[in-house]
Amino acid sequence: MAAIAATFLLGTVGACGSSEEEPGGSRTILQPTTGPYVSVAVNDHFHDVHPEDDVQLAGDRSLVIKNQGSNLHNVTLVEAHIDVDLKTGEEYSIGPPLTDLLEVGKTYIFFCKYHPEAQMLGQFTVTAP
Ligand SMILES: [Cu+2]
């Protein structure tokens, strides 16, 4: 029993050590290539869906937007008639599958209608599943 407890403690210490890295530093967290693709919305910004990220999502996946900011945000995607408000802590999923509302081969831009001056927008392309 004592040995098991000691092993557990060592494991815990190791986990704490790795969390001492600076949050949001240069570390890249890779998104999975199947299942939901997650964009976290903070105040006036959607992460991981910048136009320069050139996000390509297979049509059988979903795009999940989570509001982790402190303000009310919104997801508007005109072509799909999406206009959804997200309070802090709420999330919204397009799909699965994305092809319920969107077309393969097209690039879409969505935006937060409450923060146009901040250009709070995201872009992604739907690819063949
Ligand atoms: Cu917003």
pLDDT in tens, 77-92: 999 999 999 999 999 9
- The Å distance, Cα 108 to ligand 1 centre, comes to 18
Q: What percent of the chain has pLDDT over 90?
A: 72
Sign of dihedral through CA atoms 60, 125, 102, 46?
positive
Around ion ligand 1, which residues have CB less than 5 A away? 73, 112, 114-115, 120
- For residue 105, give both structure tokens: 């081969």
pLDDT in tens, 44-68: 999 999 999 999 999 999 999 999 9
Domains detected in the chain: 34-127 (2.60.40.420)
Residue with tokens 């999923």: 93
